[in-house]
Structure 1
Amino acid sequence: MADLDRVLATVDADLDASLERLFAFLRIPSISTDSAYASECRRAGQWLADDLAGLGLDAKLNDTAGHPIVTGRSNTGAAKRVMFYGHYDVQPVDPLNLWDSPPFEPRLVENASGVKRIVARGSSDDKGQVMTFVEACRAYLKVTGKLPVDVSIVVEGEEESGSENIGPFLASHKDELAADLALVCDTGMWDAQTPAIILSLRGLMHDEFIVRCADRDLHSGYYGGAAANPLHVISKIIGGVHGPDGRISIPGFYDGVIEPPDYVKQSWSTLDLTPENFLGPVGLANPIGEKDRLLIEMVSTRPTFEVNGMWGGYTGEGAKTVIPSIATAKITCRLVADQDPAHVRDVVRAYIRSKLPSDCTVEFLSGEGNRAVAVSHDNPAIAKAAAALGDEWGTPAVTYGEGGSIPVVGQFKKVLGQDTLLVGYALDDDRIHSPNEKYDLTSFHKGIRSWVRILAALAD
């Protein structure tokens, strides 16, 4: 048998052992956003470092100002080197009462259609995905004693809490992490049968603002109809952001937006992403984005303005007839192409100020952000990975842009000069960040096999 066939056969034969290792990883409650779990984050990092060392990699648990970063490195002198990135930290499990089983007691369940699923916090985001790559390396090393390309592995513990320390770590380990290409497994399939390669990720600008009107809460009977209500002010401002055509009406907001090539748009039109199959499963029917855009454009290559929260006044039980003196809103803008987060922040703030009554004030509290990331459609690694995925899944890989943000991918380009190949095996119904998170057994198994094929293809 050729090496590739023997490695794939080993993946199949060792699947139960691979699951046992994943389950051991999933049992560690590595919640990075809660300081009470700091020791568990470290334990998860140490578990992974030990596992990588067991493969013969030069593995280390690197301390940072926050949670540690795991690194592993092969040194066989291969002609090419790739750097794989993932994260071992997970989201909080609240509300716990909505879980069908304890979130850190992983189990394999079978649904009514016979589909087997790994259920646990972190099963899809991102421990299960990380282990698809680790297990692919394990199979190669078991069969051939070496990897087809040298690998550097970087797995952080703060992705779910802002990745505060990964940027400085990349900068201080720039020479050690030099590679021809970065690999990320924190994305998803197009559908359960169709693999995908993500060519772009939207950037992000998030801000919070407080509107102050009267110098105290007012009696709504005595002052109602005359005094400015900050909740009304914010509502009116936000209500004017989107025009009737769905376009964002803030002057200068679209500066830097670049249209995808026509041939790319044409390929997207064949993907059958419809309101019925995209919005229907979440109880909606009608897209509210720009009227002249494909649905896939709305959620991947067009910028957005969203209100994440708005509050003020009395919210307790019963009535309290006041006009509040202050109100607060949190917003996020997903950015695309060459949009500058600082410029978007400035034009959004200017718009809010321009709509404010003269006797009211506004205070801004955040304004942080990161740029969008894009990989050229003609990068040769894309074609190699797409062919490898097609061989494994029996369906051509789809290439498109994803609407979410993975800020570290921008750091790979800025700090390390590396383009990134984004390949993941998550599904839309994996319930990441929600109770009963799951990862299909097929995603895990064929994800391992997919990385085996991709590593072989990248070596050519």
Structure 2
Amino acid sequence: MSVNDYLQQNREQSVAELNELLRIPSISAKSEHRADTAAAAEWLAGRMRAIGLTTVEVVPTAGHPVVLGEWRGAPGAPTLLIYGHYDVQPPEPLDEWLSPPFEPTVRDGKLFARGSVDDKGQVYLHMKAVEAHLAANGSLPVNVVFCVEGEEEIGSPNLAEFLSANAGRLRCDAVMISDTTMFAPGLPSITIGLRGLAYMEVRVQGPSVDLHSGAYGGAVVNPANALAKIIAQLHDEQGRVTIPGFYDRVMEIEDAERRMIAGLPFKEEGLREEVGAPKLGGEAGYGPLERIWVRPTLDVNGLLSGYTGEGAKTVLPCRAMAKISMRLVPDQDHQEVERMFTDHVKSLAPEGVTVEVEALHGGQPWYAAPSGPVFEAARRALAKAYGREPVTIREGGSIPIVKAFEDTLHAPVVLIGFGLPGENAHAPNEWMSVDNFHRGAEAIAALYDELR
């Protein structure tokens, strides 16, 4: 029996097994689900043993455990490390789900469940590819190491330390991550860039208490007004961020990639309709995909000040707060940007208020030139599974651990996602294409052959 025959004949069983994992509410952000998160780790470890991995261990961390699985029975062949995560986002709001979030349901070829695409389904298709090779051939053409964590959805607070402590055990020739999407249905995609993040909180303090706006308005600097003025000065008329030095280290897009982006099946009107906005906007001189993928941004994520309840309350607030995120691109450094942002915001503060700025979360951007043996092998494998050449894309979001893998293990990282646009990864009614789950397993199985 061939590897593909095995995968084809076991399609129903593969989905049934995935459903078992999806029923476990492994919500890493909620302490009441700590036992569930541990159960998901043990479930994965059990399946790794069942498919034939020779070394499997659930490794404790200061938070949720990491599941390690190894098969190193191909001396002289390359070693591929496969990273993923078994924790999931909270499912709320529950009333917006069409079926229970932890009761997998297939509708119109889509498998609906929390974690189906982010990231349990994408992790498990890698395990099915390994199983198919071991079942059909008794061996793998390459060495494989699984590293599956339970804290990605809370920022992977313990993974960098885990990688450093286990760098020898995790030695590999390449790292493979499937936690991204394809650009469009049927269009296989290799992600070569992710934006980083600098997430800040700005707090403006004026008087010691809220004041009557009639008795004091006009004589006291209003913190809400001051904050609004600061925010208004963070962009110029062309949509560019005004922080001095903000663009100094931005890696400009090359003409070849710009042509590639322009050739993708994308329509601005489709994006406008998808988000429900009257008009798209952003930095002048760049198209929507370029703004999302290769340009840095600064956006207000939240504002809080004064009275916001029903009816009128003529209050002059004593404080105002904003949460502001900056998406960063290579070669920006999030810590450097945090410092520049802090200095600039404080320089914009009017007299009569004090301003505090705190960095809440950060991550480095990542880019990989799409060349080298592992990228070429990935292209061939995806073309074989999908019947067309893959495209190289970037994503506007952040996966901070990608850079940690690259820097710690000194190995190239390849991102091949099998999600699709509109899959509601962090929203109600998350889903994964059942066909992509199966074809993804076929593509990864082919990749092992291409890497030998």
CA-to-aligned-CA distance 1:283-314 (integer Å, 9 cap, x gap): 12533221211222100111111111110112
Amino acid at match of 1:77: A
1:173-322 map, 5 Å? 173-284=166-277, 286-322=279-315
Q: Find the aligned partners of 2:298 and 2:154 in 1 and give their Cα distance.
A: 22
> When the two structures are aligned, how many residues end up with a matched partner?
450
Q: Find the aligned partners of 1:243 and 1:286 in 2 and give their Cα distance.
A: 19
* Distance apart, 1:316 and its partner CA: 2.7
Alignment of 1:363 with 2:376, yes or no, is no
Partner of 1:380: 373
Partner of 1:113: none
**Given the alignment, which residue of 17, 23, 27 partners 2:23?**
27
Q: Find the aligned partners of 1:54 and 1:391 in 2 and give their Cα distance.
A: 28
> Identity of counterpart residues, as a percentage?
40
Cα pair 2:52 2:131 within 8 Å, conserved: no
Provide structure 2 residue ranges, at least 5 long, that are not aligned to the other structure: none
Query: What TM-score do the two structures reach when normalised by structure 1?
Result: 0.95
Cα pair 1:342 1:367 within 8 Å, conserved: no
**Given the alignment, which residue of 42, 45, 51 partners 2:41?**
45
Alignment of 1:397 with 2:390, yes or no, is yes
Q: Find the aligned partners of 1:279 and 1:22 in 2 and give their Cα distance.
A: 35
* Distance apart, 1:383 and its partner CA: 2.1
Amino acid at match of 2:183: W
Cα pair 1:212 1:327 within 8 Å, conserved: yes
* Distance apart, 1:47 and its partner CA: 0.2
Amino acid at match of 2:214: G
Cα pair 2:210 2:315 within 8 Å, conserved: yes
Partner of 2:327: 334
1:411-430 map, 5 Å? 411-430=404-423
Amino acid at match of 2:120: K
After TM superposition, the structure 1 stretch with the greater mean CA deviation from structure 2, 271-280 or 257-266, is 271-280
Partner of 1:344: 337
* Distance apart, 1:206 and its partner CA: 0.9
Alignment of 1:67 with 2:60, yes or no, is no
* Distance apart, 1:272 and its partner CA: 3.6
Cα pair 2:183 2:393 within 8 Å, conserved: no
**Given the alignment, which residue of 81, 90, 93 partners 2:91?**
93
Q: Find the aligned partners of 1:232 and 1:96 in 2 and give their Cα distance.
A: 37
After TM superposition, the structure 1 stretch with the greater mean CA deviation from structure 2, 8-17 or 376-385, is 376-385
Cα pair 1:275 1:286 within 8 Å, conserved: no
Structure 1 stretches of 4+ with a deviation exceeding 4 A read none
Q: Find the aligned partners of 1:66 and 1:371 in 2 and give their Cα distance.
A: 22
Q: Find the aligned partners of 1:168 and 1:327 in 2 and give their Cα distance.
A: 37
* Distance apart, 1:367 and its partner CA: 4.9
Partner of 1:76: 73
Residue 126 of structure 1 aligns to a residue whose secondary structure is helix
After TM superposition, the structure 1 stretch with the greater mean CA deviation from structure 2, 266-275 or 145-154, is 266-275
Residue 124 of structure 1 aligns to a residue whose secondary structure is helix
Residue 305 of structure 1 aligns to a residue whose secondary structure is strand
**Given the alignment, which residue of 97, 100, 103 partners 1:102?**
100
Q: Find the aligned partners of 2:71 and 2:416 in 1 and give their Cα distance.
A: 21
Cα pair 2:22 2:114 within 8 Å, conserved: yes
Q: Find the aligned partners of 1:380 and 1:65 in 2 and give their Cα distance.
A: 36
Residue 125 of structure 1 aligns to a residue whose secondary structure is helix
Query: What TM-score do the two structures reach when normalised by structure 2?
Result: 0.97
Partner of 1:120: 113
CA-to-aligned-CA distance 1:100-154 (integer Å, 9 cap, x gap): 11110111112xxxxx110100001000111110111111111001111110000
Cα pair 1:273 1:295 within 8 Å, conserved: no
* Distance apart, 1:166 and its partner CA: 0.6
Q: Find the aligned partners of 2:216 and 2:379 in 1 and give their Cα distance.
A: 65
Q: Find the aligned partners of 1:264 and 1:300 in 2 and give their Cα distance.
A: 11
Q: Find the aligned partners of 2:186 and 2:279 in 1 and give their Cα distance.
A: 26
* Distance apart, 1:24 and its partner CA: 0.1
Residue 90 of structure 1 aligns to a residue whose secondary structure is coil
